[in-house]
Amino acid sequence: MSLLAQIQARAPQAAAALVSLLVLNCSVFAQATVTVDGSSTVFPITEAVAEEFQKANAGVRVTVGVSGTGGGFKKFLRGEIDICDASRPIQVAEMIEAKKQGIEYVELPVAFDGLTVVINPKNEFLKELTVADLKKIWEPAAQGTITKWNQVRPEWPDAKITLYGAGSDSGTFDYFTEATVGKAKSSRTDFTASEDDNVLVKGVAADKNALGYFGYSYYAPNASKVKAVPIVNAAGKAIAPSATSIEDGSYNPLSRPLFIYVNKKSLARAEVRNFVDFYLKNGPKLVAEVRYVPLPADAYAKSTARFQKGEIGTAFAGHSEIGLHIDELFKRPLVTEPRPDSNGPKEGEKKAAEAKADKPAEKPAQKP
């Protein structure tokens, strides 16, 4: 057989081998992927879960981004990611957009956090802060008028206040303003804002008269650089943030649950289902390892049941509620339609109204 004939005879075999090689290469590049983005507060938890999950599931890649809760929801509602890390519940505008885009979501609490108000360790006059103090410092009307400590309380020094806080696209910013000023996103703007908590730590650590806030999990490893300020709670007691005070709710109103929101459509993919299942099963251990406060064991069980059933919607109807205990969160029905206004009673207000009533409340008293 001539050389030409041999080449022609072997051409089909070579072509088949080339096709097989291309298919193999494509399968490598088409690795199963789970995409997560959102809160910088929730990021350390999800990152820890992703690392452990990928060790046990070599064929799956998990990407975890940090664009803030608001930024994460924007991507989530465009269908760009499977999971949104959130340090506050989904808001009215986001619920409306979800419905418009046909995005169904499963709301899963995964941990507790306590927003920690911090000062420079050399600050010796600030022993505690009330919510009224925080409002006076941070409300929009304070801009250009409350610039010194003695303008907050006359017994404090005639020294300039330098402020550090979360960026406006952050769920931390939303929750802090809701808890202190009374309205989410209502804040003075003449402060150093950053999604990077390290920037806030460095700023407060370098200025004797500085005040800032960020999550407890970031405060804990930096406790030698900045000092936490006890906050006077609803019972009139000044309580410092700790794992115990955050979990039992005595550190109020700055304790809050943290969430992941899962696109229900994404749960049709095995890699996403397996990742969420791994997250909830290993949550308590990994949450504690990254210095957050785990939920009670039964709360993880309830989150798992909600995830397995694919129950969609939110317990908040589009509005953050301050001081809401985790037990109450799971008692509420899930809704996909937002409550049109934020004038519904807060949990503390409802308890006070029941206590003043002439007859016993029809519902049993909520657990503290």
Contact between 69 and 174 (Cβ < 8 Å): yes
pLDDT at 2 over 70: no
Q: Rounded CA gap, 342 and 180, in Å?
A: 16
Domain of 160, in residue numbers = 114-247
Q: Are residues 135 and 204 in the same domain?
A: yes
Q: Are residues 213 and 338 in the same domain?
A: no
Query: Which amino acid is it at 40?
Result: S
The percentage of residues in the chain with a pLDDT greater than 90, rounded to a whole number, is: 61
In a domain? residue 322: yes
Q: Give residue 9's pLDDT band: very low, low, confident or very high (50, 70, 90).
A: low
Q: What is the pLDDT of residue 287?
A: 93
Q: Are residues 79 and 125 in the same domain?
A: no
Q: Are residues 234 and 262 in the same domain?
A: no
Q: Which of 3-17, 121-135, 222-236, 273-287 has the lowest mean pLDDT?
A: 3-17
Q: What is the pLDDT of residue 319?
A: 80
Each residue's pLDDT tens digit, 42-59 = 999 999 999 999 999 989
Strands 162-166 and 210-215: parallel
Q: Are residues 147 and 238 in the same domain?
A: yes
- In CATH, what number is assigned to the domain containing residue 271? 3.40.190.10
Q: What is the pLDDT of residue 167?
A: 87
Q: How many structural domains are present in the chain?
A: 2
Q: What is the pLDDT of residue 195?
A: 80
The average confidence (pLDDT) of the chain is 85
In a domain? residue 7: no
Beta bridge partners of 214: 116
Each residue's pLDDT tens digit, 270-283 = 999 999 999 999 98
Neighbours of 167 (CB within 10 A): 17
* Domain stop point among 196, 226, 247: 247
In a domain? residue 13: no
Strands 83-86 and 32-38: parallel
Q: Are residues 193 and 302 in the same domain?
A: no
Q: Are residues 197 and 223 in the same domain?
A: yes
Each residue's pLDDT tens digit, 89-115 = 999 999 999 999 999 999 999 998 899
In a domain? residue 361: no
In a domain? residue 100: yes
pLDDT at 352 over 90: no
In a domain? residue 131: yes
Q: Are residues 118 and 243 in the same domain?
A: yes
Contact between 324 and 109 (Cβ < 8 Å): no
pLDDT at 33 over 90: yes
Contact between 350 and 109 (Cβ < 8 Å): no
